[in-house]
Structure 1
Amino acid sequence: MCRIINYGSLNIDKVYTVDAFVRPGETIHARSYELFPGGKGLNQSVAAARAGSTVLHVGCIGSEGDFLLKTLKDAGVQTRLVWRHGPTTGHAVIQVNASGENYIIIHGGSNQAIPDDLRKQALQELQPGDILTLQNEVNGNLAMIEGARSKKARVALNPSPFDASIEELPLDLVSWLFINKLEGAGLTGQHCPEAICRALLARFPGLAVVLTLGDEGSLYWDAHTRIHQKAYEVCVLDTTAAGDTFTGFFLSGLARNLPLQTCLQVASKAAALTVSKKGASVAIPTLEAVEKASLPLREGAG
């Protein structure tokens, strides 16, 4: 089984539960306030580790990030390449409404100040066949993608939060691209899920596109395979870590050489269990919990 090396963000999530999202010029009361460990990188590392993979996290925290380090260790993630660097740990301000939907504002902090020396050590860790996981909450992704190619490692990219810098990355060197519909539209100008996948594969024939569609399920497309996975029916409380859970479990399935359809099914069920609880990393289930869960497929989904 290959390893997952996650070069990713470590955030403190400040979560405000509200009846409805605040509007411009409006001041509202939050129903509750909670503090959680988060960041797309941390969430994906925790998910992949709880799914049964060997995971090494690479990233930085500031002076107040000790509980993020503990969260990784408690999940079984290796943390020897998590450095204390920069004045402020990355953090996010999250509004969660009555439907479980969220608005998120992030401040990069240490995530945007990862030094070259740490990237060099991370690349030295890579072995042929390893999976290098990247998101867009940290600096230095270009160097990591190019370095992974020289080490014959495979790259999984989740271009979130999406911005113009993604267009500058060599996506032809990426093995798996994990996107939602908004990110897919940003990359292709298309809005239909199938058209998004088709446009990306036309530009990058060696790419595998994993497109998450919320309650419509998910798609996997590569040059030879097209799979649609229905979503599972649950009571949604908080969607914050849904995509990260899906990504971590899917990559863990690949690392364990599971069939693609099984990877999609397990990742989808894990994401469904996650959104049925409040919080980000604290809501991510173990593989045992996913395997034991009996969830109905969403009616009319696909």
Structure 2
Amino acid sequence: MKILNFGSLNLDKVYKVAHFVREGETISAQEQNQFLGGKGLNQSVALARAGIFVEHAGAVGRETTEFHALLKAEGAGTTYLRVLETVSGHAVIQSCAGQNCIIVYGGANRMTRPQDVDAFLKDYGPGDLLLLQNETSCVRYAMEQAREKGMTVAFNPSPIDGSLTQDVLALADVLFVNETEGGLLSGTPANENETVLTALAERFPRAAVVLTVGGEGALYRKGGVLLRQRAYPVKVVDTTAAGDTFTGYFLAGMIRGFDPGKCLRCASMAAALAVSREGASASIPTWREVLDFSAAQGEPLESLRGTGAAAL
């Protein structure tokens, strides 16, 4: 199985604040940092640190060369990462008491054309996996082409916008959403986790639906199978890359041959480590760190070795 992540790459400017800014209000930040991020980049880094080789397809502006260097340093492929005459995507992140609010500008992420998708999908086929988020252009086209090729499609439909029609979401084989996104997509109250999960599973019956619910953990639903996974208690420092870490490690577990319950456990442990650190891609743990954490929790993942990609 070859893994391709068609994903966003952003410069993340993080401002630590005492409270989230309100309408008409100007506040001073207590601290400012800049990181390389974007949901796509973070998910590629998570896969790579979990020991899975992933090619990253996407686009950056000419003012940013660090993305290539970071992906290569992590052991990810950059064959399909284009440099364009525009600005890179970037995000402004307010961080307060371990929670965040984010504004994203797409930049180069929104410059991918159908012919670019054709170029990076030409080397992939049945049994391979395409991972996408909703921060790039041509998402629907890429999903349609991947399905025609017999690829497995994993989709994290964030941010939610008007392009996410039901027929687009129905192209996914694995659907990753948080509680807010799940509520919006299902039309049910976001705090009613199992109701949200059931509604999504019924609306998109071909997909394995994975719902992350912050400090409450995560849930999985495929057909009649419903699984729950607790969150592991840690001191929360920064939640910026928690969901991306979860997504990458869940897929890494799937590729290793873990069953869905073990994938949930692996992903939840990795996300717990990520939120205990500051930064986006910088906060994502390595596979060895996750193994050590699992042993400390009395749930050693080393005993959960898989034999090949699992069918979810």
TM-score, shorter chain, exceeding 0.5: yes
The residue that corresponds to 2:280 in the other structure is 280
Q: Which moved more, 1:252-261 or 1:279-288?
A: 252-261
Partner of 1:203: 203
Question: How much is the aligned-residue C-alpha RMSD, in angstroms?
Answer: 1.4
Q: Which amino acid aligns with 1:60?
A: A
**Given that residues 114 and 141 in structure 2 are in contact (C-alpha distance below 8 angstroms), is that contact kept between their aligned partners in structure 1?**
no
**Mean Cα deviation higher: 112-121 or 8-17:** 112-121
- In structure 1, list runs of 5 or more residues that go unmatched: 298-302
Partner of 1:292: 292
Classify the secondary structure of the residue corresponding to 2:80: strand
1:170 & 1:31 partners in 2: Cα distance? Answer: 41
User: Are 1:245 and 1:267, in contact at CA under 8 Å, matched by a contact in 2?
Assistant: yes
Cα distance in 2 between the residues matched to 1:217 and 1:186: 19
Contact 1:86–1:113 under 8 Å retained in 2: no
User: Could you tell me which residue of structure 2 aligns to residue 300 of structure 1?
Assistant: none
CA distance in 2 between partners of 1:260 and 1:154 (Å): 16
SS in 2 for 1:68: helix
Match of 2:37 in 1: 38
Q: Which moved more, 1:165-174 or 1:4-13?
A: 165-174
How far residue 8 of structure 1 moved from its aligned partner, in angstroms, is: 0.5
* Aligned equivalent of 2:221: 221
Greater RCO, 1 or 2 (C-alpha within 8 Å, sep 6+): 1
Aligned AA (1:250): F
**Larger deviation: 45-54 or 164-173?**
164-173
Supply the AA of the counterpart residue of 1:113. M
> Which amino acid is 1:19 matched to?
A
Partner of 1:83: 82
Question: Secondary structure of 1:155's match?
Answer: strand
Unaligned runs of 5+ in 2: 300-312
Deviation (angstroms), 1:74: 1.1
Q: CA deviation at 1:3?
A: 2.3
1:174 is aligned to 172
Equivalenced residues, count: 295
Alignment of 1:249 with 2:249, yes or no, is yes
Shift of 1:88: 0.4
Q: Percent identity?
A: 47
Is contact 1:3–1:53 with CA below 8 Å preserved after alignment?
no
SS in 1 for 2:5: strand
Cα deviation for residue 202 of structure 1 reads 1.8
Q: Give the counterpart letter for 1:170 in structure 2.
A: V
Asked if the contact 1:8–1:135 (Cα under 8 Å) also holds between the matched residues in 2, the reply is yes
| The 10-residue stretch of structure 1 (253-262 or 88-97) with the greater mean CA deviation from structure 2 | 253-262
Structure 1 runs of 4+ with >3 Å offset: none
Contact kept? 1:91, 1:106, Cα under 8 Å: yes
Deviations 1:124-172 (A, max 9, x none): 1222111101101000011111101111100011010111211254333
Question: Which of residues 187, 200, 209 is equivalent to 1:189?
Answer: 187
8 Å contact from structure 1 (residues 3, 255) kept in 2: no
1:11 matched residue in structure 2? 10
Q: SS at 2:198's partner residue?
A: helix
Once residues 201 and 20 of structure 2 are traced to their aligned partners in structure 1, the CA distance between those partners, rounded to angstroms, is: 36
Aligned residue runs from structure 1 range 76-155, under 5 A? 76-97=75-96, 99-155=97-153
Contact 1:100 1:239 (8 Å CA) reproduced: yes
Q: CA deviation at 1:115?
A: 2.7
Q: Distance in 1 between matches of 2:163 and 2:248?
A: 23
- Cα distance in 2 between the residues matched to 1:221 and 1:118: 34
- Provide the secondary structure at the position in 1 that maps to 2:122: helix
Q: Is the 8 A contact 2:7 2:39 kept in 1?
A: yes
Q: Could you say what secondary structure the match of 1:96 adopts?
A: strand
Per mean C-alpha deviation after superposition, the further-off stretch among 84-93 and 234-243 is 84-93
- SS of aligned partner of 1:289: helix
Amino acid at match of 2:26: T
On the 8 A contact 2:58/2:81 being kept in 1, the answer is yes
Q: Which amino acid aligns with 1:282?
A: A
The letter for the 2-side match of 1:115 is R
Q: CA deviation at 1:34?
A: 0.8
Instruction: State the alpha-carbon separation in 2 of the partners of residues 16 and 43 from structure 1.
Output: 19
How far is the alpha carbon of 1:296 from its aligned partner? Answer: 8.4
Residue 252 of structure 1 deviates from its aligned partner by 1.0
- CA–CA distance in structure 2, aligned partners of residues 112 and 30 of structure 1: 30
Describe the shift of the 1:56–1:25 C-alpha distance in structure 2 as closer, same or farther (beyond 3 A).
same
Does the Cα contact within 8 Å between 1:238 and 1:275 map onto a contact in 2? Answer: yes
| 3-state SS in 1 of match to 2:180 | helix
Partner Cα distance (1:180, 1:15) in 2? 21
Checking the alignment, whether the CA contact within 8 Å between 1:232 and 1:296 is kept in structure 2 is no
Equivalent residue letter for 2:186: T
Letter in 2 for 1:109: G
* 1:72 shift after superposition: 1.0
SS in 1 for 2:177: strand
Cα pair 1:130 1:154 within 8 Å, conserved: yes
